[in-house]
Amino acid sequence: MITQKITIKNKLGLHARPASNFVKMAQSFKSSIEILKGEKRLNAKSMIGILASGAKCGMEIELAINGEDEQEAMKQLTEFIDAGLGE
């Protein structure tokens, strides 16, 4: 399992449109992918899980990825977040 903290840079946060794109990307990997926010562990392959994170601009979240393609998943997902969630 690998984890990495990352800051949401999109000025609107992780709202519906980028959340949908994030979920699609997460679902393309075999690994288990979770967002850790405080005491919450949210399934990053679930739209409800992503929206429940309430991730806003400037907020730090932690990605936890476990599985055979965890390195590639972490690379692509963190790049997507760093790039402003595709917006």
Instruction: Report pLDDT digits (tens) over 23-80.
Output: 999 999 999 999 998 788 999 999 988 888 888 888 898 999 999 999 999 999 999 8
Domains and CATH numbers, the chain: 2-82 (3.30.1340.10)
Is the model's pLDDT at 8 over the cut of 70? yes
Angle 70-82/16-27 helices, nearest 10 degrees? 160
Q: Is 45 a catalytic residue?
A: no
- Answer whether 68's CB lies under 8 Å from 16's CB: no
Model confidence at 87, in pLDDT bands (50, 70, 90)?
Answer: low
* Mean pLDDT of the 4-23 span: 86
Considering 4, 12, 15, 37, which one is annotated as catalytic? 15
Instruction: Report pLDDT digits (tens) over 19-35.
Output: 899 999 999 999 999 99
> Nearest 10 degrees: CA dihedral of 50, 63, 14, 76?
-110
